[in-house]
Amino acid sequence: MATSTEQLATLDQAKEMGLLESEFDQIKEVLGRTPNFTEMCIYSVMWSEHCSYKNSIKWLKTLPKDGPHMLVKAGEENAGLVDIGEGLGCAFKIESHNHPSAIEPYQGAATGVGGINRDIFTMGARPIAQLNSLRFGKLDEDRTKWLLEGVVKGIGDYGNAFGIPVVAGEVFFDESYHANPLVNAMSVGIVKTDRIISAKAKGPGNPVYIVGSSTGKDGIQGASFASKDITEESANDLPSVQVGDPFQEKLLLEASMELAATDAVVGMQDMGAAGITCSTSEMSAGGGVGMDIYLDKVPLRQEGMKPFEILMSESQERMLVVVKKGKEQIVEDIFEKWDLNAVEIGEVTEGPQLRFFMNGEQVVDVPAESLVLGGGAPVYEREYREPAYYAEAQKFTINDVPEPSDLVVVARQMLANPNICSKRWVWEQYDSMVGTNNMSTNKPADAAIVNIKGSNKALAVTVDCNARYVHNDPERGTMIAVAEAARNIVCSGGEPSAITNCLNFGNPYNPEVYWQFVGAIKGMSEACSRLNTPVTGGNVSFYNQTVGEDGAAKPVFPTPTIGMIGVLRHQNLQATLDFKYKGDLIFLLGESREDINSSEYLHSIHGVLRSPAPSFDMDEELRLHGCIQELIKNNLVNAIHDVADGGLFVALTEMGLPRGLGFDIVTDSEVRKDAFLFGESQSRVVVSVVEDYEDEFIDTVGEHGVNLTLLGHVTRGKMVIDDEHYGFIDEAKKIYDNVIGDAMAH
């Protein structure tokens, strides 16, 4: 029982901290008494949506978690881990930093990058690649430009200084993200399977160390901040945004790698959301033990910090390490070498109690298990209801919109669309070559290819989600997101292995928002099961919505971002999307349909916001994957690129841009021309083939039962469709490359 002289917490304080009255009663029942103020702070962050997943865990448990390569299942450790052979594992995870980025975009994005990398290297894995998925409001809005500039600079400055390349990503603009941008960061690392570090505490009597930076007042109550709506008063939450230091993180990485090579570590965990509170409670509960922690031993940046401030701080570049008793000097020497703190602040106990002391006084005494996700944290089943807009969207048909008279003009408008155009302005600010692992720098492909040093294998990595599809049909839209990620891996020469996810939604208490969430989980489960790509973990981010002056909440598009990794069995399987030679034949694999549903074309050219998700059939998708893998293995294609946002015309243009080559194609007379060129029906891929290989290519495709269309051939630079001149590839490049840069300059 806590012996603190602190005042007992009140119901009003509990509510101010975001707890429900029923939760306050539950805490009193767990403790057998009324909690004091510091204990209430601990429960408020650990039972926040951000830490407890109390409104999502029921559905998350339905996701497929078993697969042929799994080393660590979802929720078991800091990140997912899959076996890639040769005694190596790949640790990877994606997380959001949406709310901090909405208030302070530079530090919000930077600390998101720092936090996700720490999740990887606390497992003993060295990060080798970063990816991100970014969503903003309309590009012509001043707020969007401010957010975009700050977020990109934050990611670039932190990642470049830390020394891990950003190898891939996506940027999407829609007014639903105007006030509440999405900043999802993914990190991928490699670890020897005999050097994996657990995030569980074990061994009563083992010392507990805090390592890395000192603790300050930045980020206090950050987890609670991430569990509420963005409002006009959210700027007052600026102290909840952490401040990052990539140079400290680089030192921490190297010290951690050195530590992983010793036998001194029992367990290690990043101090992310809820800082010392989260790391001590999760490590204790995970190992079925307790801890005694002495807060006055924690290295502080500021004098006079109160116990709750030390416990709640989300100061960056810190980790908790449980050390084998007797091996303390090994740990201290390593961190002294790297000029970092390594201070013993407590010890593992028999459990189950987590006790915190300050200057000889016990200020907290709570059962660790009662705090954590999967333990005593509350679990809720929320009501969900199909929104009226869904049925309205299903009524749309292509006959509702006229076909434009001048498709050449439309084609140029598509290339100038911020969601279609090159994101060069963004990625030029990232160092994509640091570390010399990136194999995609001069070999453009649908997924990024990352070298595994000392091996002939490589990783293929991607992030994908078309949130417009998900909004119009959460289940099918999320299936498409998973399928497109897998298609990108396959088109790059890899075999899809597993996914991580970042589930960005509005308020879970809104039945229509929760309906979107449930549909997305169902679609993800179906797609991952069929593709044999289990879910290794990830992040749920609710409350991504803005409450306006009228009090009405406006949620963002439901955005279940999919991060996927795959393995290239040999680096010579790497496939690229760029046309290679004039005269090569151009084929379309898959079936084009009279389908412009939810396409960028329908939205931006016709202004239609409601329509079904595009056509999609998982059986077709799986046949296509098998076909592509055999074509690449037998070296039968020169270029390969999936048809995605913007449709066939955009795919062809993107294939021509790298080498300045064009195309001369014929459309299908049985499909409306705008649908053929700009529709986004799924499971389609464009390939170029040397004429000498045409027969073998056609036979292979036929064996897999995949629909095949000869479109035309590669030209020296002219873009021709049905004998009509659509301009030259160099003209297209000027449009495509400069849209975002020009917008940001004005």
* Cα gap 262→241, rounded to integer Å: 35
Q: Token digits for 24? A: 């306050």
Strands of 174-264, DSSP E: 182-192, 207-212
Phi first, then psi: what are they for 745, rounded to 5°?
Answer: -80, -10
| Nearest in space to 17 (alpha carbons), one of 369, 312, 337 | 312
* Cα gap 51→42, rounded to integer Å: 11
Expressed in angstroms, the distance from the first to the final Cα of the chain is 62
Burial of 453 (0-12, 13-18, 19+ CB in 10 A): exposed
At residue 703, the 3 state secondary structure works out as helix
Q: Are 685 and 641 in contact (CB under 8 A)?
A: yes
Residue 746 is a catalytic residue: no
For residue 687, what are the β-bridge partners? 587, 640
What sign does the dihedral 326-331-336-339 (CA atoms) show? negative
Q: Token digits for 249? A: 């993180």
Angle CA 394–398–402, to nearest 5 = 135
Q: Are 379 and 58 in contact (CB under 8 A)?
A: yes
Q: What is the DSSP string of 378-424?
A: ----------HHHHHHHT--GGGSPPPS-HHHHHHHHHT-TTTS--H
Phi first, then psi: what are they for 543, rounded to 5°?
Answer: 65, 25
Give the type of residue at 52: S
For residue 353, what are the β-bridge partners? 367
Choice among 50, 99, 178, 704 that is catalytic? 50
Residue 50 is a catalytic residue: yes
Q: Token digits for 628? A: 């592509």
Give alpha helix (H) positions in 423-473: 424-427, 467-472
What sign does the dihedral 16-22-27-29 (CA atoms) show? positive
Q: Which residues contact 3 (CB under 8 A, 6 or more apart)?
A: 361, 362, 365
* Cα gap 491→487, rounded to integer Å: 6
Q: Token digits for 367? A: 């059962």
Choice among 69, 97, 178, 704 that is catalytic? 97
Q: Token digits for 160? A: 């470049």
Give the type of residue at 359: N
At residue 737, the 3 state secondary structure works out as helix
CA-to-CA dists, residue 329 to 252, 264, 269, angstroms: 17, 9, 20
Q: Token digits for 522? A: 């169902």
For residue 347, what are the β-bridge partners? 207, 292
Residue pointed to by tokens 């498709």: 407
* Cα gap 38→361, rounded to integer Å: 13
* Cα gap 561→501, rounded to integer Å: 6
At residue 512, the 3 state secondary structure works out as helix
What residues are annotated to the active site?
A: 50, 97
